[in-house]
Amino acid sequence: MTKIIRVVNVQFFNGKRELLYNGPFLHLEKTISINFRSQKNNEKEKIVTIHRTTGDLLNPVTHWDFTVRRIRSIPVFDNNYTVNMFPERGVVRFIISKEIKDIIKEDVRAIGKAVLGFGKKYVSTHSNHSAAAMTMYLATVPVFTIMLIGRWYSDAFLLYVHRQVQEFTTGISSRMVLNDSYFTIPDKDANIENPRTPGAHNNFAAAAQNGSNDFQHITAPNFNLFQ
């Protein structure tokens, strides 16, 4: 079960030096490290470190500084308070998923379908996962880095990478023509009759991958000639 992040799970660092929560310059620190205590994939105590950006847009350090300060303003503050808490007119409230969903939908509506290609009815709280994975992919972040930062246990994050995104294939056509031909190293010991040999004319697996061909009729053998 996924557990909500607590204030104590968020650490601010300036280089190798950790800063206290009551420091006045948390928003200027270089990195934050978040300890994800428990996740749906049963992984526990996984720490992810994120660096500040050069500007204010989506700067994780300044945003987490704001979050920590908001929670610290709650009377009788405790480091075990969860990050979805906030004070409102003297009462402690919790941010719920519906409120997050409404904000996401309103942002999508404000940006517009002409820019995004979809409307607000197609987004929800999991859209954050999709946006993060897609943004990192388009920034050519290595797949293993996306998995580790996103805390994906496997390549399940690929479900959040949408091939219909226009920018998904940026530059691929240009890179495909960088090499005008490909030379295959000949194998002197290869038996071209062996279907396990690359390019063998009886390689049924390769033929199947080439799709249907009305002019080629392949019949599977009743026995295997090669071991």
DSSP run (H or E) holding 204 = helix 204-209
> What is the 3-state composition of the chain as percent helix, strand, coil, each rounded to the nearest 5?
35, 15, 50
d(CA 208, CA 73): 65
65: which 2 tokens?
């500084």
d(CA 32, CA 147): 19
Nearest to 157 by CA among 193, 128, 122, 178: 128
Long-range contacts of 18-23 (CB under 8 A, 24+ apart): 21/68, 21/72, 21/79, 22/72
175: which 2 tokens?
């890179």
Predicted confidence at residue 106, as pLDDT, reads: 95
| CB atoms closer than 10 angstroms to residue 137 | 20
Residues 129-163: pLDDT tens digits?
788 888 888 888 888 888 888 777 666 667 667 67
Q: Would the pTM of this model clear 0.75, i.e. be above it? A: no
Packing angle of the helix pair 127-138, 143-150 (nearest 10 deg): 150
Residues 82-116: pLDDT tens digits?
999 988 888 888 999 999 999 999 999 999 999 88
| CB atoms closer than 10 angstroms to residue 133 | 22
DSSP 8-state class, residue 74: S
Domain locations in the chain as residue ranges: 7-94, 97-172, 184-227
